[in-house]
Chain A
Amino acid sequence: MPHDHDDAGGSELDPMAARVMALETILTEKGLVDPAALDALVELYETQIGPRNGARVVAKAWVDPEFAAWLGEDATAAIASLGYGGRQGEHMRAVFNTPETHNLVVCTLCSCYPLPVLGLPPVWYKSPPYRSRAVIDPRGVLAEFGVALPAGTAIRVWDSTAELRYLVVPMRPAGSEALDEAGLAALVTRDSMIGTGLALRP
């Protein structure tokens, strides 16, 4: 249910809810939208399309060097081979973290995000603090996520200004050698695939 939120301002939510409901009423009465289609779309993003998809992609890349190479060359096709693709993932690029380079993804101009692999973006990703600072103070932003990179690791920020969508492949954590793909996928957080986090340690 609606509740206070830094980004939205609690007092705004109820009028917004009423206004959205009114718009749905108008469009339904005019035959421009089918409420059952709205139900289907909500359910899709609530149950099917989320960061576990991306975690599966990353875990496979960790255990399968051929898949990792394919992901590097043609991420859209490699990701599609696992069953993920479509809206806002039409032109995927995978970027791989290394000890030398840490990748961080932002959309300074709106909220572009690789929906098929990560689902809907969190509020902070769409909000001014992250969008304004990720490009000018990435190390400071990472610190706010509790991520402290070694001084020798350079940061590469990807501003999603076109229709390319970026998936960060975090480094496989030490101590994960014995895990299978499902066990590895459990270590892959959403934030680690945006670049604001690292993969969990087992």
Chain B
Amino acid sequence: MNGAQDLGGQAGFGRVAPEADEPVFHGRWEGRMLALNLAAGAMGAWSIDETRHARESLPPAEYLSSSYYAIWLKALERLLVRHGFVSAEELAAGHALGPGAVPKRVLAAGEAAAMIARGAPYARDPGGRAPGFAAGEPVRTVVMHPLGHTRLPRYARGKLGRIEAVQGFHVLPDSNAHGRGEAPEWLYTVVFAAEELWGRDGEPGATVSIDAWESYLERA
């Protein structure tokens, strides 16, 4: 979706402000938020794609004026309500008021490290489906403006690039974020000249790559 999250190439945000000796968390709540997000995700009710879509669905002014952990909190609240685990009344009250959806599992303390170490690979078995493009081939990204989730940034739509590598057969976020199945596709690294993306404002010689699913690409 063309939400506030799609920041590539936008102007006006000012200088990058690295912080010297930045702590892992700026306050205890950030660590709790990270952990809540992981533990709630471990209930198995939604995918990382649905999570990302919940974050980018915040109203643009709110997204841009919230710290990243605040964005996480607001999105997690929405996910918990959407999936019936928590009610809006409970969020307002700050306490449980009644039963809700039953999770597939609850993460135990002893399982936390193993869950993080295991991760959640997004590569799937192509089952005989061959990649439609080969390294070195020119391609053009599609032009689309879906209302739902996509990982094709606006700045890279309708652009001429080159397949640099075939990267595997991966879950398609555009489908998975909306509970429409994993619908895996071949994934490619596609590289563009900066001038193709930015015209006369692109730095000569600079290149930018994205990782693009096959349905994001057309033969050029």
A interface residues with partner B (beta carbon < 8 Å): 1-3, 5-9, 12-13, 16-17, 19-27, 29-34, 36-42, 44-46, 49-50, 85-91, 108-111, 119-120, 122-124, 126-133, 135-139, 141, 144-145, 154-164, 191, 196
Contact = CB atoms under 8 A, between A and B. Distances in A.
A44 B167 CA distance: 30
Contact of A126 (B68, B80, B153, B194): B68
Nearest to A111: B68
Contact of A108 (B16, B95, B153, B207): B153
A122 to B, nearest CB: 5
Interface in B47-71: 52, 55-56, 64-70
Interface in B4-38: 5-11, 13-19, 22, 24-29, 31-36, 38
B122 A41 contact: no
B203 to A, nearest CB: 6
Nearest 8 CB-CB pairings of A with B: A8-B67, A108-B8, A162-B211, A36-B109, A22-B94, A29-B96, A17-B29, A38-B35
Interface residues of B, number: 100
A162 B111 CA distance: 27
Given A16-B29, A86-B118, A132-B10, A122 B17 contact: no
A136 B31 contact: no
A156 B118 CA distance: 31
Contacts of B112: 37, 40-41, 44
Interface of B: 5-11, 13-19, 22, 24-29, 31-36, 38-40, 43, 52, 55-56, 64-70, 73, 76-77, 80, 85-86, 90-91, 94-96, 99-100, 103, 106-113, 115-123, 151-153, 155-156, 167-168, 170-171, 173, 187, 189, 191, 194, 197-198, 201-203, 205-213
Given A2-B27, A41-B39, A87-B115, 4 more contacts: A9-B67, A38-B35, A40-B113, A109-B153
A36 B111 CA distance: 11
Contacts of A46: 24-25, 31
A158 to B, nearest CB: 6
Contacts of B103: 32
Contacts of B13: 127-129, 132-133
17 contacts: A3-B26, A9-B67, A13-B26, A21-B29, A37-B39, A42-B35, A85-B119, A110-B52, A127-B68, A128-B7, A136-B155, A136-B197, A139-B206, A141-B16, A144-B16, A155-B207, A159-B8
Nearest to A156: B207
A3 to B, nearest CB: 7
Contacts of B80: 23, 27
Given A21-B32, A46-B25, A110-B55, A38 B39 contact: yes
B210 A161 contact: yes
A164 B167 contact: yes
B36 A24 contact: yes
Nearest to B41: A87
B77 A25 contact: no
| Interface-central residue, A41, A122, A124, A127, by most chain B CB under 10 Å | A41
Contacts of A155: 203, 205-207
Given A129-B13, A160-B211, A12 B73 contact: no
Nearest to B171: A163
Given A37-B109, A161-B153, A138 B94 contact: no
